[in-house]
Structure 1
């Protein structure tokens, strides 16, 4: 649900506007391997405001109903950042200077993300019930949120509460209006939270990162691989987490962990980057989707055309962007 331009805070929000659909993007259709049941894998363009010069989809909720993204519009005062929320194919455009990056969305349509306070300090926000609101913070030189689960629990991190360190933070849905510092490894940066409250993340000094998982009862265990010089954890859903480990080679190895016991499998290294994982263990990133140890290329790319998968629902719906002289939000189905 992971995976990024921030703006100063201004009181209030504007009403949502229904944007005009731009229709469906025509592209090649990926096909199944010989002997397998054919599944049509298609890409379509999500509706987006026609007066923006770039727009993308950043997150999809596990049911596939809600998609959240961002767009940029040129205004008299410069770039204006917009929050985009799709409920199925109906788009609401939210104008707010609080909004910067979109981090995640849950099945209730609650969106979280990060912006900038007028002091230049990173400031997280939440969109729910038709309005953008600032999340409570602890003293810090910058705070960011990374993920929200189905209960509405939010995780993120703050800097320099202890000089030179990061600390893990949680905004518990059961205690509205509060934020708490979690017991976690030193320099901890949570990157995901599952439906049952399991939290994953990375910790440690630059270049010597370690991966970790925090159980709902507060117990912490490492996420790593034999011989790993460093580990970074990127996202989690259900019993699965994904990340990268440095094994001394020229490129990091992309892996998927089983959170039940910490075991791992290596992902297809043709995967250019890691975007997200769903509760079935299906992984997306770059221009590929990975099931098991094999991957397939998503349709829509080509010569001088870039595509990027950012998030995947449990239904298999994938969202991201397509850049063909203009960045547009897209959705893949049947892949």
Structure 2
């Protein structure tokens, strides 16, 4: 009987110590998340600019600018705050609109080919553009890139006039790093336009 009381008392004491040590122990507190604004440099003559994407590690930021009175957008890449102008793969009047960048600095976006009446998705790394496969009778736009360099974007019939907010007539298309020549994986298509 006495042994049973000691066991119960010892069990109660151990339980109380566990509760006290849990409640009284200091907990590690993470620093609060803080957002600190930093001005990014712009090219000379920029009339407006906007950031359109950034890497998860915050090293890279992409965006676009208009220079002077030209209507064409010029692609911009900031690497740790240093500006890199993304020269257009064609004429300087052809708009280049970066959409996203990964942790390795791979940029994806869209180039408007006004003479052909369509847009073409691209992947860009170290000053080199890869135009992602786009059938001649369609337009594409790259929207996001992962750290492997796989791209997700949209495909729609050339000449289709739809609002940027509408998915009417558009299909979601993946381009894997190893398949620049054709989209890979399956595409999902939005419903019919009404």
TM-score by length of 2: 0.66
Residue aligning to 1:174: 178
Going from structure 1 to structure 2, the CA distance change for 1:135 and 1:183 (only over 3 Å counts) comes to closer
Counterparts in 2 of 1:279-290, with a 5 A limit? Answer: none
Question: Residues 168 and 181 of structure 1 are in contact (CA less than 8 Å); yes or no, is this contact kept in structure 2?
Answer: no
Secondary structure class of the residue paired with 2:37: strand
Secondary structure class of the residue paired with 1:170: strand
Is 1:54 the equivalent of 2:48?
Answer: yes
Secondary structure class of the residue paired with 1:45: coil
Q: Which has the higher helix share?
A: 2
Deviation at residue 181 of structure 1 after TM alignment: 6.1
Is 1:156 the equivalent of 2:148?
Answer: no
Equivalent of residue 138 in structure 1, options 135, 144, 149: 135
Is 1:74 the equivalent of 2:78?
Answer: no
Counterparts in 2 of 1:266-277, with a 5 A limit? Answer: none
Deviation at residue 79 of structure 1 after TM alignment: 2.9
Question: Residues 76 and 98 of structure 2 are in contact (CA less than 8 Å); yes or no, is this contact kept in structure 1?
Answer: no
Question: Residues 99 and 113 of structure 1 are in contact (CA less than 8 Å); yes or no, is this contact kept in structure 2?
Answer: no
Counterparts in 2 of 1:178-327, with a 5 A limit? Answer: 178-180=182-184, 182-184=186-188, 186-187=189-190, 204-205=191-192
Deviation at residue 38 of structure 1 after TM alignment: 6.4
Secondary structure class of the residue paired with 2:68: strand
Going from structure 1 to structure 2, the CA distance change for 1:79 and 1:183 (only over 3 Å counts) comes to closer
Going from structure 1 to structure 2, the CA distance change for 1:60 and 1:153 (only over 3 Å counts) comes to same
Question: Residues 147 and 154 of structure 1 are in contact (CA less than 8 Å); yes or no, is this contact kept in structure 2?
Answer: yes
Going from structure 1 to structure 2, the CA distance change for 1:83 and 1:182 (only over 3 Å counts) comes to same
CA distance in 1, matches of 2:64, 2:107: 11
Task: Please tell me whether Structure 1 or Structure 2 has the larger radius of gyration of its CA atoms.
Answer: 2
Residue aligning to 1:104: 100
Deviation at residue 136 of structure 1 after TM alignment: 1.6
Question: Residues 68 and 86 of structure 1 are in contact (CA less than 8 Å); yes or no, is this contact kept in structure 2?
Answer: yes
Going from structure 1 to structure 2, the CA distance change for 1:79 and 1:151 (only over 3 Å counts) comes to same
CA distance in 2, matches of 1:166, 1:40: 38
Going from structure 1 to structure 2, the CA distance change for 1:81 and 1:129 (only over 3 Å counts) comes to same
CA distance in 2, matches of 1:60, 1:181: 25
CA distance in 1, matches of 2:170, 2:32: 48
What residue ranges of structure 2 are gaps of 5+ in the alignment?
A: 1-29, 161-167
Counting matched residue pairs gives 152
Is 1:94 the equivalent of 2:91?
Answer: no
Deviation at residue 155 of structure 1 after TM alignment: 1.1
Secondary structure class of the residue paired with 1:42: coil
Question: Residues 152 and 173 of structure 1 are in contact (CA less than 8 Å); yes or no, is this contact kept in structure 2?
Answer: yes
Deviation at residue 175 of structure 1 after TM alignment: 2.7
Q: Cα RMSD (Å) of the superposition?
A: 2.8
Residue aligning to 1:113: 109
Residue aligning to 2:20: none
